[in-house]
Amino acid sequence: MARAQHSLFDEGDVALRPAICVRGLKTAFGSHVVHENLDLTVWPGEILALVGGSGTGKTVLLRQMIGLAQPAAGQVEVLGVPAHGGTPAQRRSLARRQGMLFQAGALFSALTVFDNVALPLRELRTIPEDLVCEVVMTRLALVGLGASDAAKMPADLSGGMIKRVALARALSLDPELLFLDEPTAGLDPQRSDEFVDLVRSLHRQLGFTVVMVTHDLDTLVELATRVAVLADKRVIVCDELSEVVRVDHPFIRTFFLGPRGQRALGDLAPKERTAYGKP
Amino acid sequence: MAQGPGQAASDPGDSPAPLTLKAGVCRLAGDWSVQTLAARGEIRARRRALDAAQANAGLRWDLTGVRRLDAVGAHLLWRAWGARLPERVRLHAAQRDIFASLARMSIEPPRPAPRDPLAWLAKLGAGVLDGAQHGRALLLLLGQLVLDAATVLARPRLAPWREISAQVYHTGAQALGITALVGFLIGIVLSYLSAQQLQVFGAGQFIVTLLGVSIVRELGPVLAAILVAGRSGSAITAQIGVMRVTEELDAMRVMGLSLGQRLILPRVAALALAMPLLVLWTDAMALAGGMLAAYAQLGLTPSWFLQQLPDAITINNYWITLGKGLAFGVLVALVACHFGLRIEPNTESLGRGTTASVVTSITGVILVDALFAIIFSQVGI
């Protein structure tokens, strides 16, 4: 995959059309401005990790990309369709092409595991029930769950299983775009590894685009093809990890190059730095 | 030669006195940690001893005998010394570190917020504005509900029939027991009290009209509405509130499910359907109770009572009771959904939200009832 520069948008070439295009985004809560003049491009098929300090608005940005929050200014275009202010038909079609994994899973607590994963399919109202059943069991098998788990209620599941069911539900309609909000938060190291392997193999199989917000350096190193760093109210760099760690910015220094960072990066740790601000 | 104050250490065998003053040297020893200082009267005694010792000028301090010194003990000494180390003091290195960090930190208590004498006025104004905001939000909710109802009626296949049916069961069918009980008992009480008064005038037979009209027009609908508000209103608010907290509402939005159609419409429709029926049920139970009490008190036979009922309760009252049931049902459901959608992710908010929901619905029901009474009296029903 070609290395992407973060302000390029090729209008003519459909094959290079970005999956998500954020231009001039401004987010404010009252007088507190979180993002100002934020630009970000997500290319199809890549796994983009969104990192930033606390309060830099990573989750807010994710929510704006998925259409749950409205920016004060700027545009967000997802899969060629505006994320806000589109027609209801556009919004409906967009909802079918994207899926989100919430931090705590957000499974519907009144429905069984099976019904949770089946919901997006049943909402289409055109798929016969036997087909729905087959697809749901396939999805559950894909995330490592079986028929015995299908009848359980979300309250009976462990944290790792909740995340897996939520992932199965997010992938129910084979979306082109997958959003992950802190996917490995609260998982023990083994479950985190399993989750990372799962996402990686599914990505290889199904080829969707992933945007994930994460603090976990190990997940980042394992999964992300590009990393977007949120600081100073905008994306200061969006590039492959090996390039990002060479940028000399205080946040990047503390986040990636502290003792944890060095351990996680291994030999990705930079030998020399590029000054922040230089192209 | 002053002796140190009373028992200090926890082990009886080895308990040096905490403070000894001898030949111009104040020797501190033993346990100056919170476990020991927490004993009753211990801090007071030690403070007294410290103040007594401070009275001597040019005193030297020796802390090397102190076995354990923690933050509480250190603060105690720090205060007694006037927030600085005395000129001549012998300390261990660790103790020196403790006092050095105390010297670095500021231990000023937080300044209390300045009290505004007109704070009550601001609160009142804020309350009014808040109420207006709630009113606006409710109006928006009602408007969206009407739009959703129109959409669903235009394409019945899309309607959430199962959700509506489930809600009718939970809010209606499962409330039959409590409404029957309360209705029956209120009927008995009302009838008993009225019978006593009517007997004085020898007008016992008017009890049928009295009970019939008052229960069917006023008491039945309001009672049923209050019970349903407490029972189902709080349940709806809590359920939607928790869904907000666990991000289930966000998940629904992300999947393109309309919250108005899938969450609010079923609940409002269910209560709009169930409430009039519950009101009829409550009316019947209350009249049954009244009948029983009338028989016991006035000797009016149930068969006579039932014969008189159709004349006592005109058809207008029947429509009024159903209409009120419908109005109250929609009101309770809307208010419950409104408060549910505003709940924040903390326990405080959940408690306050459900309380506000129940109180607002009950108050709203009474207000609407009064409004109906005014309208009907003007119209002459």
Q: Is A235 helix (H, G, I), strand (E, B) or coil?
A: strand
Output the six-digit token pair for A163. Answer: 């995340």
- Give the integer Cα–Cα distance in Å for A246 and B83: 49
- As for the ipTM of the complex, it is 0.79
Q: What are the pLDDT digits (tens) for B1-17?
A: 444 444 444 444 456 77
Phi and psi at B72, nearest 5°, equal: -65, -45
CB-CB neighbours of B230 under 10 Å: 17
Q: Is A10 left (phi over 0), alpha (psi -120 to 50) or beta?
A: beta
Nearest to B266 by CA among B292, B300, B240: B240
CB-CB neighbours of B363 under 10 Å: 12
Q: Is A273 helix (H, G, I), strand (E, B) or coil?
A: coil
Interface test with B, best of A119, A177, A211 (most B CBs within 10 A): A119
Decide if A123 and B253 are in contact by the 8 Å CB cutoff. Answer: no
Candidate from B246, B253, B256 with C-beta closest to A92:
B256
- Give the integer Cα–Cα distance in Å for B123 and B73: 44
Report A:69-108 residues touching B (Cβ under 8 A).
91-92, 94-96, 98-100, 102-104, 106-108
Please indicate if any CB of chain A lies within 8 Å of the CB of B246: yes
Residue in the block written with tokens 């007694």: B80
pTM for the predicted model, two decimal places: 0.76
Helices (H), B262-314: 265-298, 302-312
Chain B residues close to A98, C-beta within 8 Å: 254
The Cα angle at residue B170 between residues B320 and B250, in degrees rounded to 5: 110
pLDDT of residue B338: 96
Residue in the block written with tokens 């809590």: B238
Please indicate if any CB of chain A lies within 8 Å of the CB of B161: no
- Domains belonging to chain A, first-starting first, are 44-67+87-277 (3.40.50.300)
Per-residue pLDDT of chain A (279 residues; tens, 9 = 90+): 444 333 344 455 555 788 899 999 999 888 888 898 999 999 999 999 999 988 888 989 999 998 888 889 999 999 888 888 778 888 888 888 999 999 888 999 989 999 999 999 998 888 889 999 999 998 898 888 888 989 999 999 988 899 999 999 998 888 999 999 998 888 888 888 888 998 998 898 888 999 999 988 888 888 999 999 998 888 899 999 888 888 888 888 888 888 888 888 876 766 655 555 444
Residues in chain A: 279
CA of B250: which chain A residue's CA is closest?
A68
Please give the full DSSP string across A13-78, using - where no structure is assigned.
Answer: -GGG--SEEEEEEEEEETTEEEEEEEEEEE-TT-EEEEEE-TTS-HHHHHHHHHTSS--SEEEEEE
Distance, in angstroms, between B235 CA and closest chain A CA?
Answer: 14
Output the six-digit token pair for A104. Answer: 């705590």
Please indicate if any CB of chain B lies within 8 Å of the CB of A41: no
